[in-house]
Amino acid sequence: MERIRIGLVGIGKIARDQHVPALAASDDFDLIATASRHGRVDGIDGHDSIEAMLAARPEIEAVSLCTPPEGRFDQAMSVLRAGRHLMLEKPPSATVSEAQALAKIAEKAGVTLFATWHSREAAEVDAARDWLATRRIDAVRIRWKEDIRHWHPGQDWILAAGGFGVFDPGINALSIATRILPEPLTVLSATLSVPANRTSPIAARIAMRSGDAAVDADFDFLQTGEQSWDIEVDTDAGLLRLTHGGSRIALPGEPAAAGTNEEYPRLYRRLADLIRSGGSDVDLDPIQLVADAFLVAERRSVEAFDF
């Protein structure tokens, strides 16, 4: 099958750690150009902007966008207006309305739009979804706690307006929860802890419901030592534990299982399938939950934070 020529935009940590290796190993894509103000990929044609990249390489059929959400809308519009297929790193945009607008524009242009949630592709997420499908859900506990200084060193944008703060990793947990729970999630209340010198939260608690089940989410960006990316679900058949970001699962009466993580290779296989079938995939449930949390939240000022 003919390979798809793709450009990669935003050569930062996530692009280098995940997108570049996934594309290098892909049977579906050829990475032929990049666009970034600060980064380059060895051996790949590099440009300073999307417009320059597309002008220089008109054979590009698809673009993968890995820049921060703030300001991404205009970049995405440039791609869609040029008639190229588009893949968005999570979160897809700075606001829900931006993502909705992009979906409509992509449909009108007749191109694929894929708003990705990489944590949904973790090894044991599908197994958790399938097991929970026939169980009564009694309660859900989400604990997503990591060290911002380790995972986002010096990335001031993440705590600025539009950067999502602790919801940048927290939205990964919400993307898994909305995939595995049989009933939709709704936000009841939230508490956001915002450093005195920042705009976005460094910690958050959210109370939600899924059907009749209470869902408690605890997000923390100041976790040192062991990192926690865990979801526990109490059911009528016992406790399900999905840990290590969805890569390990423990079911009642069964030995724990850990699959091989192929989050980004799976995303690019999905993108190839969408392009070849003429479809799109734009699920906005996780970002809508974040928006709802901001709407109802009590905000608390906490100690200033510096990297």
Contacts with 117 (C-beta within 8 Å, 6 or more apart), sequence order: 90, 171, 172, 175, 179, 283, 286
Q: Token pair of 285, please?
A: 């449930």
90 is catalytic: yes
Pairing assessment for the beta strands 238-243 and 228-235 based on DSSP bridges = antiparallel
Q: What three-state secondary structure class fits 12? A: coil
Burial class (CB in 10 A: 0-12, 13-18, 19+), 197: exposed
Compute the half-sphere exposure of residue 273: CA atoms within 13 Å on the CB side of its CA. 7
How far apart CA 247 and CA 259 sit, in angstroms, is 6
Of 90, 104, 108, 145, catalytic: 90
How far apart CA 73 and CA 212 sit, in angstroms, is 37
How far apart CA 253 and CA 247 sit, in angstroms, is 19
Which residues are the active-site residues? 90
